[in-house]
Structure formats: C-alpha cells, structure tokens
Amino acid sequence: MDTDAQEEAGARVLDAAEELFYARGLQAVGMDAIRGASGVSLKRLYRLYPSKDALVEAYLRRRDERWRAALARHAGARPAGRERLLAVYDWLGLWFAEPGFRGCAFVNSFGELGTTVPAVAEAARAHKEAFRGYVAELVAEAGLPGESTAPLVLLAEGAIARAAVAGDTGAAHEAREAARALLDSVARPAPGDGKR
C-alpha cells in the first residue's frame, strides 16, 4: 500500500473511531464496527492500529489537537485581553449546541476506563492540563494575576459537565457571566488600595 493510500485509510479509520467512540463510548464500540464504518478491511485496520487501545490513543490525541485548535481559532479572532478570555465561553456555547454533543470526550473516556488503561488516563490528564495552560496564557496576555486561571478553568469545566449531563446549552452563557464578574473583581482595586 502506498503512503497516500495508507494515510487516507488511516484518516478514514480515525474519522469512524471519533464518531463512534464519542457517540457510543469506548467499550461499546468494537474494531468490527470501526471496520464497517470506515470501509477499511480488518486486516488493514490492525496493520494501522495493532490494538483497540492503540486506536483509542490515536483518537484521543487527534481529538485533543482538533478541540484545542478550534478553541484557539475562535478565541484568537477576538482582541487580546478580556474579550479573548470571554470568547472561550462563547466557543463552549457553540460546541454545546452541536448535534451529537456528549460532553468532554476525555472525561467520558476516563469515566469509562479509569486507570485500567493508563494511556487513556494520561491523555485525559494531558488534555485538561493543556486547556488549563491555554487559559493561563490568556490570563497573562490580559495582564491579570495568575491566580485567576483556576476559577476560570473551573467555570468552563463546570459548564461542560452541566451541558453534558443536563443538556443545558445555556451553561456556557452562565459561565461566561460568572467569568465576567470574576474579571471585573480582579480588575477593580480592593478598598483601601488607592493612594491618598
């Protein structure tokens, strides 16, 4: 098989894996279902991904890259500072409204497999840490204190969980308003801090 055909088959397999794993869960989807959805023979599928665990790792790696790139594109289109930070919550609202939204693929995967598959646990931790790092960059870019990062991340993570469990797409807007209030309080000097 030439390199282009190999890459095309690999992309089809990952597309099928992403759709099925996210919609149904990791344990509910076997390699035969991936084969059927991708149109790639089982033999070729196992040549590309020698085990289901290897395919799950590749799925999570690609999902992480795509998710974070989409968020960065959306937020990056806003002016640096508060607006770019608040754009994170706007993007979450768009994501929550997508057909088939099932919450965070990394939380879902970790919830299914816990630490029984260390690579899945590591992918989930790495994704959450990368998101926290991105928010920290936006906080620094806005000239805000670093301790603003943790509550801003928790607001986003809470909105994701609420949207997934309750189907509440408005959770992103509520998180945005809470983030705005937090940013207002951080930007305002505390009483007695002014010069006399």
Query: How many Cβ atoms sit within 10 Å of the Cβ of residue 123?
Result: 22
Q: What percent of the chain has pLDDT over 70?
A: 95
Q: Is 128 left (phi over 0), alpha (psi -120 to 50) or beta?
A: alpha
DSSP assignment, residue 147?
A: G
pLDDT tens string 12-57: 999 999 999 999 999 999 999 999 999 999 999 999 999 999 999 9
d(CA 31, CA 38): 10
Provide the pLDDT confidence category of residue 115 given band limits of 50, 70 and 90.
confident
d(CA 190, CA 94): 35
d(CA 17, CA 38): 8
pLDDT tens string 51-107: 999 999 999 999 999 999 999 999 999 999 999 999 999 999 999 999 999 999 999
∠ CA 35-66-90, nearest 5°, is 130
Tokens of 101: 């939204």
Provide the pLDDT confidence category of residue 195 given band limits of 50, 70 and 90.
very low
pLDDT at 89: 98
Tokens of 36: 């059927």
Q: Are 62 and 14 in contact (CB under 8 A)?
A: yes
- pLDDT of 186 > 90? The answer is no
The pTM assigned to this predicted structure is: 0.90
Query: How many Cβ atoms sit within 10 Å of the Cβ of residue 155?
Result: 23
Q: What is the mean pLDDT of the chain?
A: 93
Q: What is the dihedral of CA 119, 152, 93, 26, to 10 degrees?
A: 10
